[in-house]
Amino acid sequence: MALGKRRDASTITPLIKFDARSGKTTRCDREQDSSGKWTTKDVDISDTFEAVFDLENIEIGWIAFKGGRPDFKMVKAGADIGDPPSKDHKEGFRLRLKLINGAGSDVRELSSTAKAVWMSIDELHDEFLEAVVKHKTSEVAWLLGFAEVSAFNHACSCFFVFQRFLKVAGSLPTLF
């Protein structure tokens, strides 16, 4: 492209939705129809969901899902999130993940205010931090997530299960 990318052009990371009540994982694909109108096509990937989670860069804070567009007030995990900006904001998290195998092959964003999802991601993050300390190698420093993640639903609780580390050659930007 001769002109190159505009500096003011925003990039929107595609989404992944996880419904803790049903255990359904959905990839939200944006498509443009023949008239140029953008629509979202929800693709159920519950049976094939595998992803590498960027747990090193997870964010926590306040999220309001109002008016069709989320309002995020986020900080890096471990920082003080302060008070909610409004009565509509709920405590939540946001992270990036890279879909692998049958679920897809691109980078997506997962955010949630659901307590069950928060608790599961919190446990997964704790396991990640323990593994980084245990291995203490530059190779492990770039693992930044887990592969072969499965989701289960039992009485409105969910679990993202650690299966194995995915060793990544190079640095994070090559994966995310």
DSSP 153: E
In angstroms, the CA 160 to CA 158 distance is: 7
Please write the tens of the pLDDT for every residue from 54-111: 888 899 999 998 887 889 999 999 999 999 999 999 999 999 888 877 888 889 999 9
115 pLDDT more than 50: yes
pLDDT at 175: 56
Give the angle subtended at the CA of 59 by the CAs of 11 and 161, to the nearest 5°: 105
Separation of first and last alpha carbons in the chain: 23
pTM of the model as a whole: 0.75
DSSP 1: -
Q: What Å distances lie between residue 24 and 48, 63, 79, 100, CA to CA? A: 11, 21, 31, 17
151 pLDDT more than 50: no
